[in-house]
Structure 1
Amino acid sequence: MKIALVGYGKMGHMLEQTALSLGHSVVTTIDVFAEDAKVKIAAGDTKAMVDAVVASGAEGIIEFTHPASVMDNIKALLPTKIPLVVGTTGWNDKKEEVAALAASCGGTIMTSANFSIGVNVFYKIVEEACRLVNNFEEYDAALWEMHHNQKADSPSGTALDLAKHAMEFLTRKDTIVTNEFKARPKPNEFHVSSTRCGSVPGTHKIFFDSAADTIELTHTARSRQGFASGAVHAVINMKNLLDEGKLQTGKLYGMDDVFPGVF
């Protein structure tokens, strides 16, 4: 498969290595800052980005840039109708807008708070734990995450996604709180706290606490390799499922859709 990479920082380089190791080709790499990108563009020049992607003959695009530029990139790339996987986080509140844009222009997009296979397995473990704990009101719950000090958004998209998964099964929690408390938390509030430090690839921990004991579930990433592998497999699967008619164009998809029957 011919893949275009929009964003060629550390993750972009890892995505390229992963794609090549799986026997696919990276036909262009596009970035604002990276001197070794095949195409270097000015910040905000989405026309140059789109022109480079289209000229490359790409059959799929992986976008991994920055929360400040992701929406402009999505709006520019979707109309090309080339299957688009977006790894940049920080745009959860714009998903309805993106889904509407996909429907109007016929472009197809897929995203996930975290493409790591291990993290997506962790989601299922957390869901089952919440289903069990939901039977015992004496257990409170909260979530903490830690990432490297270069991460631009806080809390992580994965943490917010985990909280939403948890609250589907832990029904006494219905409100996510990400800032500091100025008063005692209410029983229905699910606290998601964040730390940024050093070079930590990503750690997510969910706590269930009672007067008698504490249960902790933790996912710790050793590197970004899991994310890179999942994103490359996602764009390949999405293209194949579209070609087979198992996915429709003009929609916004998630991990469940491009890995059917797995997650």
Structure 2
Amino acid sequence: MNILILGYGKMGKIISQMAEERGHRIVAKINIENVADLDHLNTDDIDVAIEFSQPSSAVGNITWCMQHNVPVVVGTTGWMEEKEAMTALCTQKNGALFYASNFSIGVNIFFKVNAFLAKLMNEQTAYQADLEEIHHTEKKDAPSGTAITLAEGLINNNNRYSKWKLKEGEEKTEEGVLPITSKRIDPAPGTHIVSYTSDIDDITIKHTAHNRKGFALGAVLVAEWLPGKKGVLSMNDFLDF
């Protein structure tokens, strides 16, 4: 399979290596320094694109893929304010846009455990929920896309919370608001902790990534699966949860 890499930072490099190890060909590796090379690519020679760039570049990269009929797997977070517009463009162009805040199989199982626990805790008013995420210092967006997905999963399954808020220092959390604490520490591929705290006890679930390989492999597996599909797709479609 011929793969276009959009974003050639740490994740892009691991994805490229893993894709080549699985027998795929990398057509081009595009980053901010050589983005003009997109204009010279033969799109007939591209089966799928994998987009792991920066929030400021993601929308432009997705738009390019939709306009050139290239299915795209997107792992960049921090551009969700444009998700509706990109969904509309994908529909208009009859394209394929696969977005996930996290491609790790383990994290996506963690999402399901989080949603189930939120349902169980729905009537347990003695407990206050909170969420913490830890990433490396180069990560630009806070909270992380994974943390936002966890927050949305909790809110959608627990009627005691209506929104989330990034916690600043020791500020007190309003009722009905899920606080998210974001920490940036090196080295830290990613840790996410969901806690329910009461005066009597705590209930905590936690996912810790040991390296980026799980994210990269998941992205490549999705890229292998995506060609031929249409619409806006997610890990729920891929894993058939």
Residue of structure 2 aligned with 1:52, choices 34, 41, 44: 41
Q: Distance in 2 between the 1:253 and 1:177 partners?
A: 27
Maintained 8 Å contact 1:50/1:77: no
Deviations 1:145-196 (A, max 9, x none): 0100011111100000100011121210111111427863222000011011
Where 1:187 maps in the other structure, the secondary structure is coil
Maintained 8 Å contact 2:119/2:158: yes
Gaps of 5+ in 2: none
Q: Distance in 2 between the 1:22 and 1:69 partners?
A: 27
Deviations 1:194-245 (A, max 9, x none): 0111121000001111110011111000111111001011111111xx2xxx
Q: Distance in 2 between the 1:254 and 1:172 partners?
A: 27
Partner residue, 2:9? 9
Q: What does residue range 64-83 of structure 1 map to in structure 2 within 5 Å?
A: 64-83=52-71
Matched, 1:255 2:238: no
Maintained 8 Å contact 1:28/1:53: no
Partner residue, 2:23? 23
Maintained 8 Å contact 1:177/1:192: yes
Q: Distance in 1 between the 2:114 and 2:221 partners?
A: 24
**What is the TM-score with the length of structure 1 in the denominator?**
0.86
Partner residue, 1:38? none
Deviations 1:119-147 (A, max 9, x none): 00100111111111113111110100010
Change (3 A) 1:50 1:223: farther
Q: What does residue range 161-240 of structure 1 map to in structure 2 within 5 Å?
A: 161-180=149-168, 184-239=172-227
Maintained 8 Å contact 1:64/1:88: yes
**What is the TM-score with the length of structure 2 in the denominator?**
0.94
Amino acid at match of 2:13: H
Deviations 1:65-86 (A, max 9, x none): 1111111111122111111011
Q: Distance in 2 between the 1:53 and 1:257 partners?
A: 29
Aligned residues: 241
Gaps of 5+ in 1: 34-40
Residue of structure 1 aligned with 2:134, choices 136, 139, 146: 146
Maintained 8 Å contact 2:65/2:71: no
Deviations 1:79-109 (A, max 9, x none): 1111101111111121111101111122211
Matched, 1:134 2:122: yes
Q: Distance in 2 between the 1:132 and 1:22 partners?
A: 41
Q: Distance in 1 between the 2:156 and 2:62 partners?
A: 29
Maintained 8 Å contact 2:96/2:226: no
The structural deviation recorded for 1:31 is 2.2
Percent identical: 35
Amino acid at match of 1:26: I
Maintained 8 Å contact 1:80/1:107: no
Q: Distance in 2 between the 1:224 and 1:211 partners?
A: 37
Matched, 1:103 2:91: yes
Where 1:49 maps in the other structure, the secondary structure is helix
Where 1:102 maps in the other structure, the secondary structure is helix
Where 2:211 maps in the other structure, the secondary structure is coil
